[in-house]
Structure 1
C-alpha cells in the first residue's frame, strides 16, 4: 500500500500533463477560454497556469503527520506555489491590456482578483 500511495503524485503529474496536452480543463474559466476564437497567447498562457493553480487550490489535503499524508500535502503546496505565484499581477496586467476586448474581459472577470498571500 505504501508504494501505491507514494506513487500517486508521480501518476498524478503524468495524468495532469496528459490532460493539459489534450486541452481538457479543470475549471469553468478554462472551458470558457476554449470557446474564444483566436485567444491571444498571453491570455491562453495565463488561463493554463491559473487552471492548474485553481485545481490545486481546491485539492483536499489532510493535516496529519503520516509520511504519505505529509508527502501529498507537500506536493499540493509545491504546485500551488509554482502555479499560483505571480497570477494576481498577470491578471491585473491582462485586464488593463485587453480592457477594450469584451470577450477577453468577460473571461478575465471570472477570476478572483487576489489569491496570493491574502
Structure 2
C-alpha cells in the first residue's frame, strides 16, 4: 500500500512550494483532527502483521483511525474547497480511498 504524506511533510512541501512558512497549527480544528487520525491510519496501513497478536492490534487501529476516513476527507474537501489555500493543498495531497 502507498503511504500518504505526514502532516509535517505536507507543511514543509507547502511551505517550499509557496515560498512561505506554513504551520499546521493554524489549520482549522476539524482539519487538524482529521490529519492526525489520517496519519495514524496511514501508519498502521503500512505495518506488517508478523503474528496473530500484531495482526489483531493492527486491525483494531485500522478500525479506529481509518473507518470513515474516505467520507470525512470528501466532506472536508467540499467544506474547504475555496480556502484557506494551505488547507486545500494539504487535503488534496491525500489519497481519496483508503478504506
Structures share fold, TM-score greater than 0.5: yes
- Residues 59-117 of structure 1 deviation map (CA, whole Å, 9 limit, x = unaligned): 1123xxxxxx111110011101111001101100100000011211110011110111x
One of 23, 33, 43 as aligned partner of 2:31? 43
Which of 49, 70, 73 is the equivalent residue of 1:88? Answer: 70
Instruction: Please list every run of 5 or more consecutive structure 2 residues that lacks an aligned counterpart in the other structure.
Output: 12-21
Match for residue 107 of structure 1 among 74, 90, 93: 90
Which structure has the higher relative contact order (CA within 8 Å, separation 6+)?
Answer: 2
Task: State the alpha-carbon separation in 2 of the partners of residues 94 and 29 from structure 1.
Answer: 17
Please provide the CA RMSD for this pair.
1.7
Gaps of 5+ in 1: 1-26, 63-68
TM-score, normalised by the number of residues in structure 2: 0.77
What is the CA–CA distance in structure 2 between the aligned matches of 1:46 and 1:37, rounded to whole Å?
13
TM-score (norm 1): 0.65
After superposition, the Cα gap between the structure-2 partners of 1:37 and 1:82, relative to the gap in structure 1 and judged at 3 Å, is: closer
What is the rounded CA distance, in whole Å, between the counterparts of 1:43 and 1:83 in structure 2?
Answer: 14
Does the 8 Å contact 1:29/1:110 carry over to 2? Answer: no
Structure with the greater alpha carbon radius of gyration: 1
Aligned length: 84
